[in-house]
Amino acid sequence: MKLLLTSGGITNPSIQDALLDLLGKPIAESDALCIPTAQWGHQMCGPVGARGFVVGGPPWNLTGMGWKSVGLLELTALPTIGEERWIPWVREADVLLVDGGDATYLRHWMRESGLAELLPTLPEKVWVGISAGSMVMTPRIGTDFISWKRSADDDSALGVVDFSIFPHVGHPMMPENTMAEAERWAATLGNPSYAIDEETAIRVVDGKVDVISEGQWRYFPAEERP
């Protein structure tokens, strides 16, 4: 897959240009599927936020960018309807738009539904993650970011990339998400990590990682452990 891992979505021209580069064609010619599943696992999310992401109303901009089509892929439903129905939907889409919430809940349903197993067979598919939709691709999210109670202390994610992500640096509604707090968090992980704000995205194509930013970000290498 081609990954565009963001904190807040497509928030500036630089990130939008990166998305267009990954798609290889205009947004108006691209079919999207949106995945709101992570919202159900987070204590601060609910029906209003899930609906807002799906319909693309403010401040949820990602699904309202003028796609050729936007379909809804709810992962919790997939195990009950059969792969013969939903796998063609995923294969035919150009891009998966994946909302935030709780990354461990999203991890669970990506595995339970079969989507996690399918993704490695789709090298040209574009994945655009917001917050937990980005963090789910990492090895670990850190226990600070677990909201889903069934996860207990299991902060593991899918490990598609080898680095972790601390999102929403400097967000006015999350005053605790400071760069100093990100540095403390990074020291607990044992793998490389990035702290990113709403104006930053991480692009991953064929294992190559680059940062697209009009804001603030920082890279933390893995700390050596005795």
Given the candidates 3.40.50.880, 1.10.10.60, 3.10.20.600, 3.30.70.20, the CATH classification of the domain at 2-177 is 3.40.50.880
What is the per-residue pLDDT across 46-85, written as a single tens digit (0 to 9) for each? Answer: 778 788 888 887 766 899 999 999 999 999 999 999 999 9
Listed by start position, the domains of the chain span 2-177
At residue 172, the pLDDT reads 85
**pLDDT one-digit tens code per residue, 112-165:** 999 999 999 999 999 999 999 999 999 999 998 998 888 878 999 999 999 999
Nearest to 31 by CA among 119, 84, 90: 90
Which distant-in-sequence residues (6+ apart) come within 8 Å of 209 by Cβ?
161, 163, 202, 203
Listing from the earlier edge strand, what are the strands of the sheet with 69-72?
69-72, 31-35, 95-98, 126-130, 2-6, 200-205, 208-213
Predicted pLDDT of residue 206 = 95
* pLDDT tens per residue across span 6-56: 999 999 999 999 999 999 999 999 999 999 999 997 877 777 878 888 888
Residue 151 has a pLDDT of: 83
Report the alpha-carbon distance of residue 110 to residue 117 in Å, rounded: 8
